[in-house]
Amino acid sequence: MRAATGEPVADLLTQTKPLALLAYLVIAEPRGHHRRDRLLGLFWPELDEPHARGALRKTLHALRRGLGDSVLDARGDEDVGIAAGALACDVLAFDEAIEGGQTARALELYRGDLLPGFYVREATEFQQWLDLTRASYLKQAATAAWIMAERSELEERATIAGEWARRAATLSPFDERVVRKALALLGRVGDRA
C-alpha cells in the first residue's frame, strides 16, 4: 500500500491496530465512510465506550501522522473513511480488474492471502471479517483462473489452458468440483501428467 504521493506506508506496517484499521477502512464494503461505533466494536470490544473512542482517536492520529492529514476523511463526528484516490492498494486494483472483466490482470495482482498470518488480539469481529474477506478473494481468484483456463481452451491454446487449470486447482485444492474440472480439461488438452 502506498500513499497518494507514492511513498510506502512502512512504519504503519509494524503497528497492529493501525494497520488493521487502515486495511478495514480501505477494503471493507460498502466502500467509503464507516461508522465510528462499528469500528469501536470491531477493534476495541473489550473497552467501555469512552476508552474505546479514545483508542480510536489515538489510532486515527497515528494513521494521519504516518499517511498525512489528507488521507483520512471524516464526515461529521461519526463517520470516517479514506479520501478518494488517497491510497493505491492492490486489493482495490484486483476488485477493479474483476469488475472490468480483466481476469488475467486480476490474477497478476493476486499474490496470495490478504494479510497472511495477520492477527489482532481481542478483536474477534475484525478477525472474522478478515477471514471471510480472505476466503472471498481466494474464491474470486480461483474463479478467474478457471475463466482463463476455459477461455484459453476455446482459443485452442492447450498449454496455457493447462497452466490456468492448474492454478485454479491450486487455489481451490479442497473443492473437488474444481479439481475434477481441472483434471478433465487437462485430459482434453492432452496433458496426462
- The model's pLDDT over 12-65, given as tens digits with 9 standing for 90+, comes to 567 899 999 999 999 999 999 999 999 999 999 999 999 999 999 999 999 999
Nine-digit cell string for 97: 480488474
Residue 67 CA to residue 59 CA, distance in Å, equals 12
What angle separates helix 124-154 from helix 16-27, to the nearest 10 degrees? 50
Residue 100 CA to residue 68 CA, distance in Å, equals 31
Q: pTM for the full model? A: 0.86
Same domain for 82 and 121?
no
The DSSP symbol for 113 reads S
The answer to whether residue 26 is domain-embedded is yes
The answer to whether residue 96 is domain-embedded is no
- State the CATH number of the domain containing residue 83: 1.10.10
Residue 125 CA to residue 42 CA, distance in Å, equals 5
Instruction: Specify the pLDDT at position 7.
Output: 58
Q: Residue 176 corresponds to which amino acid?
A: E
The answer to whether residue 168 is domain-embedded is yes
Q: Which domain holds residue 11?
A: 2-88
Beta-bridge mates of residue 8: 2
What digits encode the pLDDT tens for the residues 124-180?
999 999 999 999 999 999 999 999 999 999 999 989 999 999 999 999 988 898 888
Same domain for 121 and 79?
no
Does 2 have pLDDT greater than 60? no
Same domain for 27 and 84?
yes
Residue 117 CA to residue 136 CA, distance in Å, equals 17
Residue 22 CA to residue 88 CA, distance in Å, equals 12
Same domain for 72 and 32?
yes
Instruction: Specify the pLDDT at position 154.
Output: 92
Instruction: Specify the pLDDT at position 15.
Output: 82
Confidence of residue 103 (pLDDT cuts 50, 70, 90): very high
Q: Which segment of 2-6, 82-86, 123-127, 133-137 scores lowest on mean pLDDT?
A: 2-6
Whole-number CA gyration radius for the chain: 20
Does 191 have pLDDT greater than 90? no
The answer to whether residue 14 is domain-embedded is yes
Confidence of residue 1 (pLDDT cuts 50, 70, 90): low
The answer to whether residue 193 is domain-embedded is no
Confidence of residue 77 (pLDDT cuts 50, 70, 90): confident
Same domain for 75 and 123?
no
Confidence of residue 10 (pLDDT cuts 50, 70, 90): low
Q: Kindly give the residue spans of alpha helices, DSSP state H, lying in the chain.
A: 16-27, 36-43, 49-67, 90-99, 103-109, 124-154, 158-171, 176-188
pLDDT (mean) for 100-129: 95
Beta-carbon neighbour count of residue 41 at 10 Å?
14
Q: Residue 53 corresponds to which amino acid?
A: R
Q: Residue 120 corresponds to which amino acid?
A: V
The answer to whether residue 64 is domain-embedded is yes
Number of domains in the chain: 2
Does 3 have pLDDT greater than 90? no
